[in-house]
Amino acid sequence: MTNLLDDEQRLLAARVALTQRIDRGNVVLSSRLAGAFLNVPRHPFVPVFYRRDGERFIPWRITDGDPDTWLDAVYTDGSLITEVDGVHAEDAVPAGLTGVPTSSSTAPSLMADMLDALDVNEGDEVYEAGTGTGYNAGALCFLAGDKHVTTVDHTESLTDKARLRLNAVGFDPLVIHGDGARDFPTDGMYDRLIATASVRRIPPEWLRRLRSGGIMVVPIKGTLAGGMVARLTKLPDGAAVGHILHTPAAFMPLKSDTKTSAHVPAVPDGPCGNAELSARILDDWTFSFFAQLHMPPDLVRTYGKNSDGLHVTTLYDPADGSATRIDDMPEGPPMVTSIGPRDLWQPVEAAHQLWQQLNRPRREWFTIEATTTEQIVRYTAPDGHVYRWTL
């Protein structure tokens, strides 16, 4: 085991293979970005991560089974989950646990896409919200120089580990335990800001802390699946404008952005109607980001299977108490049942109709504009008609 991690040739081959894998995918790597993936090793940041076994997350160390298989998994182009419901893989019992992932090392190709959009130059002051394992911070240190990087995580044990691991690979950035939406070093101003946790709207502090001409790359996601990544440039007047990246991304939410989790009420059987569409349409990421634009900001979606194994989704708007359940049926159209003042499925179906009418516009054709008070997504159709949504 130890031998494998001392085998420089094997480790270099793993980094080269990962870099080539990223480059063969959707991301054309600049030579500087390729340099980051070739030079910053991933394995020191993820000595233990979770592998999936059905519903369970099982901690996986290099000593568990074949070391080569472990190393291949580390240098695969996939995300590596390191924390589930606040339990770090290093602290988990061997049998593992079930729950919801709360920290991970992002898939390298997604990291590469976001870093490419961030366009980091040597000497740029960079802020990262969501340190996690520290691997992305390591890439930022390679690109900007470690003295120019500040990275923040909500969980102190993560920042403690990440700081040690960054130091171990030769980087010494500022690693802060805090809320990435608002905790900045006094007077800290940045040329580049990246978030690796998603927000529903861009926190105003990010707009204030970005220098004029600076770039931010931010995953934006509501409760419907299919998040998007926005890339914005700050203008001298304080607004930031940009567009949505091609790549879909479902980052875990930035914790401060999560409202006290709304309790979704059970929708009792009652008068119901037919739906045109099954709620499984929301699993289509080419559509769900568009659907999200049409829905209230605090909407909550829960979904699963009913006792017959058929899909069921419930949408809930805590603002007015409306809740709508959409049940797939063994035959025929899905059924819609609502409580409260509004049917919440109707706007999703209307959004789907518009999306088709617009010939399924791709996310990268949308622009975004943000100020500290208003955030707007726009789509200009080929006929010049401008569609506009407020985030």
CB of 321 to ligand SAM, least distance (A): 28
# chain residues binding ligand SAM, by CB under 6 A: 25
Contact between 255 and ligand SAM (CB under 6 A)? yes
Contact between 197 and ligand SAM (CB under 6 A)? yes
Tokens of 199: 């927000």
- d(CA 58, CA 48) in angstroms, rounded, equals 10
- d(CA 64, CA 74) in angstroms, rounded, equals 14
Contact between 104 and ligand SAM (CB under 6 A)? yes
Q: Which of 125, 153, 317, 328 binds ligand SAM (CB under 6 A)?
A: 153
- Cβ proximity to ligand SAM: between 106 and 322 the closer is 106
Which DSSP string corresponds to 148-167? Answer: GEEEEES-HHHHHHHHHHHH
- Cβ proximity to ligand SAM: between 40 and 315 the closer is 40
- Cβ proximity to ligand SAM: between 150 and 155 the closer is 155
- d(CA 1, CA 61) in angstroms, rounded, equals 10
- Cβ proximity to ligand SAM: between 150 and 337 the closer is 150
- d(CA 379, CA 365) in angstroms, rounded, equals 7
CB of 141 to ligand SAM, least distance (A): 12
**Tokens 């335990």, residue?**
177
- d(CA 28, CA 247) in angstroms, rounded, equals 13
Contact between 152 and ligand SAM (CB under 6 A)? yes
Contact between 129 and ligand SAM (CB under 6 A)? yes
Give ∠ CA 180-183-185 in degrees, rounded to 5.
125
- d(CA 64, CA 172) in angstroms, rounded, equals 31
Contact between 252 and ligand SAM (CB under 6 A)? yes
Pairing of strands 149-153, 126-129: parallel
- Cβ proximity to ligand SAM: between 252 and 391 the closer is 252
- Cβ proximity to ligand SAM: between 136 and 314 the closer is 136
Whether the CB-CB separation of 62 and 5 falls below 8 Å is answered with yes
> Interface residues for ligand SAM in 281-340 (CB under 6 A)?
none
Contact between 372 and ligand SAM (CB under 6 A)? no
Q: Which of 41, 44, 130, 226 binds ligand SAM (CB under 6 A)?
A: 130
Helix, strand, or coil (residue 207):
helix
- d(CA 263, CA 243) in angstroms, rounded, equals 34
Contact between 201 and ligand SAM (CB under 6 A)? no
- Cβ proximity to ligand SAM: between 178 and 297 the closer is 178
Give the DSSP letter of residue 389.
E
- Residues forming the site for ligand SAM (CB under 6 A): 103-106, 129-130, 132-133, 135-136, 152-155, 158, 179-181, 196-197, 251-252, 254-256
